Amino acid sequence: MVTDVCARRGPRREGVPVPVRPARLAGLAVVSTDGLIVVDKPGGMTSHDVVARVRRLARTRRVGHGGTLDPMATGVLVVGVGRATRLLTYVIGAGKSYTATIRLGQATVTDDAEGDVIASTPAGRVTEDAVRAALAAQTGDVDQVPSAVSAIKIDGQRAYRRVREGKDVDLPARRVTISRLEVRALRRGEPDVVDVDVDVTCSSGTYVRAIARDAGLALGVGGHLTALRRTAVGGFTLAEAATLDDLERRAPEVVTLSLPAAADRSFPRREATAEEERVLSHGGPLDPVGIDGPYAVFGPAGGLVAIVSERAGRARAEIVLAPA
């Protein structure tokens, strides 16, 4: 999605901390704060670059992110520190919102502005009604073919590597949900291209640059993404995002949402008794209470114990987060 969802710069898995050589953090006191940071990622940096910066500022190696943004993209990148990295698997699967600009009249090899233009077709005569219809056709539950330059594996090799080696890439369509795709503005600043500013709300796994590509194909003029800003990941929005300069100024106290606060924002809440906390913290099951989906269990003192789901008549921990 955008980029969106997939990093094409390297094979790192989303949200999984990558080891840093000890020398990189030598001499720094360890800061043990666990929690999330909503970062406003700047353009020109990979998501892993942001993680590396936070590792230095927070003075800990245990840092990961929840949902890759390509270097061109800016906006909300949720970063986990310490035990909160274990919550990132849920962040990755959350719905996302973007503002984006689609350029009609040019197709690129990457479906965005970072790739070479491979075809140009004058788009000056494309009407606004036609543009809106092409985008409306992509809303709802749709089968979307991911961008060829993505981190999806084909026979064990990342798709973007195959493209760079000149190999053919034929990715199967994936079912995604695009719940909102609205035109905010349509601009004709250059003779043969049309720039379309859009708002997008979509499920995890959606490629915004594929939306641009498919709109261009439907209109017969080609299209690619020229700007992308992620405005929300689940309930985390730009309104609470900190810039890297903000984090530099308050380092090493960079965590903005403690582990309990982050879980409270992301999951339904269940209160546990002291005995239930003891059982759950040791991996044992609890009696169900009828809460759908994963939920957060808190102990009597307010600490986060575990993320739990109910199945087969028992409430079992998906991840235990109580301190050892």
* Residues recognised as catalytic: 70
The number of angstroms, rounded, from the C-alpha of 153 to the middle of its chain's C-alpha atoms is 18
CA 79 to CA 74: how far, in whole Å? Answer: 14
Would you call 236 helix, strand, or coil by DSSP? strand
Vertex 241 angle, CA 239 and 245, to 5° = 130
Would you call 17 helix, strand, or coil by DSSP? coil
Residue with tokens 């003779």: 191
CA 179 to CA 171: how far, in whole Å? Answer: 23
Which residues lie closer than 8 Å to 216 by C-beta, 6 or more apart? 102, 104, 105, 107, 222, 223, 224
Would you call 101 helix, strand, or coil by DSSP? strand
CA-closest candidate to residue 4, choices 225, 159, 189: 225
CA 247 to CA 262: how far, in whole Å? Answer: 18
The helix or strand, by DSSP H or E, that contains position 227, with its residue range, turns out to be: strand 223-233
CA 244 to CA 85: how far, in whole Å? Answer: 19
CA 213 to CA 223: how far, in whole Å? Answer: 5
In contact, 178 and 140? CB cutoff 8 Å:
yes
CA-closest candidate to residue 100, choices 128, 124, 135: 135
DSSP code at position 112? B
